[in-house]
């Protein structure tokens, strides 16, 4: 997406929020909870305030960093330490992640693309990232690390998406009496 398109299609703020969802696999509440101080520009990392009061450091890809910097320099006008704030004064932090669902619904409508599910929510981008990683051959452990899953059972949901990959490592089912 070009810089000009970012401004006309939802603005720099919306673009930066969607990039965090799509490229880092963040959950909507994690994006909304971000603070300016969570970005470590020198080390290229961002702190993610996850479920269960966890704080994880994750790499900040250059394209996501650029989207964040564009938003902060050009559009963000507030003394609040919250990274993402409302466009209208008094520029307050968002109450919850529902704003991201509205942004995505609007983006699908403007693009003319059919959403992959009737309900368009921010979790679609997290799921898409995991599916893409499976298709590129990432291990379930790598996917779990990327999505910051605490339990491998959560990551196992994505294994069913790679049926061909699972077939390639499956063993033949044993037959009664040892027949081949």
Cβ atoms of 36 and 81 closer than 8 Å:
yes
Catalytic-residue membership of 91: no
- The active-site residue out of 6, 13, 15, 158 is 158
- The active-site residue out of 51, 57, 110, 150 is 51
Catalytic-residue membership of 95: no
- The active-site residue out of 12, 13, 76, 126 is 126
Query: How far apart are the C-alpha atoms of 134 and 130, rounded to whole Å?
Result: 6
Catalytic-residue membership of 54: no
Per the document, the length of the chain is 180
- The active-site residue out of 6, 12, 76, 123 is 123
- The active-site residue out of 6, 13, 27, 127 is 27
- The active-site residue out of 6, 12, 76, 149 is 149
Catalytic-residue membership of 71: no
CA distances from 1 to 19, 121, 124 (A): 11, 21, 19
149: number of CA atoms within 13 Å, CB side?
A: 19
Catalytic positions are 27, 51, 123, 126, 149, 158
């Amino acid at each position: 997406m070009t810089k000009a398109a970012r401004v006309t299609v939802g603005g720099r703020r919306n673009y930066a929020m969607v990039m965090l969802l799509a490229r880092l696999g963040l959950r909507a509440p994690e994006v909304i909870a971000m603070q300016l101080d969570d970005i470590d520009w020198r080390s290229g990392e961002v702190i993610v305030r996850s479920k269960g009061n966890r704080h994880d450091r994750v790499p900040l890809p250059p394209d996501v960093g650029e989207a964040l910097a564009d938003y902060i320099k050009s559009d963000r006008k507030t003394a609040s330490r919250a990274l993402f704030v409302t466009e209208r004064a008094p520029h307050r932090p968002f109450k919850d992640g529902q704003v991201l669902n509205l942004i995505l619904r609007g983006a699908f409508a403007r693009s003319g693309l059919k959403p992959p599910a009737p309900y368009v929510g921010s979790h679609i981008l997290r799921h898409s990232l995991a599916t893409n990683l499976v298709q590129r051959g990432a291990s379930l452990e790598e996917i779990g690390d990327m999505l910051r899953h605490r339990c491998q059972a959560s990551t196992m949901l994505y294994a069913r998406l790679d049926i061909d990959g699972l077939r390639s490592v499956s063993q033949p089912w044993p037959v009664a009496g040892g027949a081949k």
